[in-house]
A = this chain, B = another copy of it.
Amino acid sequence: MAKARHSRLDCDPGCSVEAAISLIDGKWKCVILYHLQDGTKRFNELRRKIPAVTQRMLTNQLRELELDGLVDRVVYAQVPPKVEYSLSERGRSLLPIIDALKNWGDENIALFNKRLEAA
């Protein structure tokens, strides 16, 4: 992905495109959004759904998604702690696009195989 979170904004015409991408960029955000599609999930629940992610990154990505208003985070004041994550209204508005990306990816999966064998 790209790197600097804000450096994406210093171009002009594709600006809003880049801005939108910057929200779903980050190695795990799409996967997280994908898994929140079918309802609220707790932190470790997400970890189990995405085995390859580290706690650190899951926390980071969830915080960014929360700051960007794509995900809602609810903390229950109890011991042991309980935190629930769900898609916000705006997060849900992104789902069609994510879906379109998924479909495009599926239809063009040959690309990635080709790229893998080239590596």
Contact = CB atoms under 8 A, between A and B. Distances in A.
Contacts of A102: 14, 16-17, 20
Interface string A76-112: 0000000000000010011011101110111011011
A99 to B, nearest CB: 8
Interface residues of A, number: 56
Interface in A6-38: 6-11, 13-21, 23-28, 30-31, 33-35
B96 A17 contact: no
Main secondary structure of the interface of A (DSSP, over half): helix
A97 B16 CA distance: 13
A112 B9 contact: yes
